[in-house]
Structure 1
């Protein structure tokens, strides 16, 4: 399986960077995508890999990224939708969407759907980085941008449940054509997660508690396993994993109608902005 093309978003830091290094070390052709030009270019030089810079808070950059990948990658064997973050106070992007929702769900949804024909033709694996916080979600499909009852934790939890619902609907729509979608929880990882925001989470990552967290390499283990193992044999397409085992999900994750409605609502939001 070595030598495949694996696109990793959110690769300039944390588990994305650790996964890119591990996959490159196994002989995979890793395409590095990150928001920070300096960090992304540095990792690409280290790995002798192709790289792209894109800020998922700007949908125009996501569209440009998809166009560049389609132009330069005849096949995409694995797409790792790892970019994301928690934002704290409610902010909106230039596209008019709540930032946590756009960066964690709407942008990777857009990227994946723009690449869908290439992914299906490649019989690709699509991996979504979710979180155990999906269990705390209170998702309102009529208020995905959380104009009402906003909190940073709720926005992030909702987005992580959206990742799982998207995974399952992607599998339903394209699984028969050979695409395999899966989501996972990396664990509490000692990274720069939430830096540059006013989220209270950033304070935890600056205390001695950080020493109790997983290393980025440990957090990336399940991601690397999903990218290099066999769908249907080693893991169940449409499933959600932690530490290479099936992980619990929110009760709504099993609602096929909710997954379909989220997909359709995401398409509507992208069509209008």
Structure 2
């Protein structure tokens, strides 16, 4: 049976961390959650845009470069110093990338879409658990921005860095990364059972943002795409609404369970991804 996310509730007294918040659905979500009363940590890469969103939401700006894991570690330390309680972590940063390696030696798409968010979550996990111990039941959450592209993902534990196989303009690596977001969410739900912290992933729909560049097919599709504000609704509601689905669920827009790859239900793959990721960021 499918369920649908209800309208968001007020967020006074709650702190929300949103990565990729300087543009697109991250920016739209930051604005709406601030209007709902949340204190928003605006995390972005571009200094000017990140500062502008922080100013308009009354939040604080935090800079990070997901291409450098040390920058993610610095972000984690800064967030822990700034906020004694964190109620929602929205891992929203990610996107397509060229075929390249980061300074850490990882595939750029893999690090931007999964590994950096995995590291940030790990760094903040104890603070989220401590917040859940004193916060209203069900109010502490980790939210992953995935994609319908996850349905085409086929990540392999022996090739998480996407070194083998065709590049296909980056789409194969991107689809793998988005499925990894869902697998990470499912494994988080297992590991967080009984802590009061829940985890969800969602597909925002096809949104008219800078994603995908300006090629003719992308430009044509964007004419009928959702606005960033519409695309942000799943994130906003998963942060602020009473979620009518168990932890670990994947939402297609506002509805769960969302249709995706059968590999999303592979418990061994989810566990293996967690263990491999933990080793890579140790």
Normalising by the residue count of structure 1, what TM-score does the alignment of the two structures yield?
Answer: 0.93
For 2:187, which of 169, 179, 182 is the aligned residue? 169
> What's the CA shift string for 1:46-76, capped at 9, x where partnerless?
1121110101111111000000011111000
For 1:58, which of 56, 68, 74 is the aligned residue? 68
Partner of 2:198: 180
Q: 1:270 to 1:4 in 2, by over 3 A?
A: same
For 2:238, which of 211, 226, 237 is the aligned residue? 226
Distance 2:96 2:277 in 1: 20
- 1:140 is paired with a residue whose SS is coil
For 2:228, which of 191, 213, 216 is the aligned residue? 216
- 2:192 is paired with a residue whose SS is helix
Partner of 1:198: none
Partner of 2:8: none
Partner of 1:199: none
> What's the CA shift string for 1:207-247, capped at 9, x where partnerless?
2431210000000011111111124xx23210000231011
* Residue 102 of structure 1 pairs with residue 111 of structure 2: yes
* Residue 262 of structure 1 pairs with residue 280 of structure 2: no
- 1:96 is paired with a residue whose SS is coil
Distance 1:194 1:133 in 2: 13
For 1:20, which of 12, 17, 30 is the aligned residue? 30
Summarize the alignment of residues 73-92 of structure 1 with structure 2, pairs less than 5 Å apart.
73-87=83-97, 89-92=98-101
Q: Would you say the 8 A contact 1:62–1:111 is kept in 2? A: yes
* Residue 122 of structure 1 pairs with residue 131 of structure 2: yes
Q: 1:110 to 1:121 in 2, by over 3 A?
A: same
Distance 1:2 1:194 in 2: 35
Query: What is the aligned residue count?
Result: 262
Partner of 1:135: 151
Partner of 1:30: 40
* Runs (5+) with no aligned partner, structure 2: 1-10, 133-139
Q: Would you say the 8 A contact 1:192–1:205 is kept in 2? A: no
Q: 1:206 to 1:170 in 2, by over 3 A?
A: closer
Q: Would you say the 8 A contact 2:85–2:127 is kept in 1? A: yes
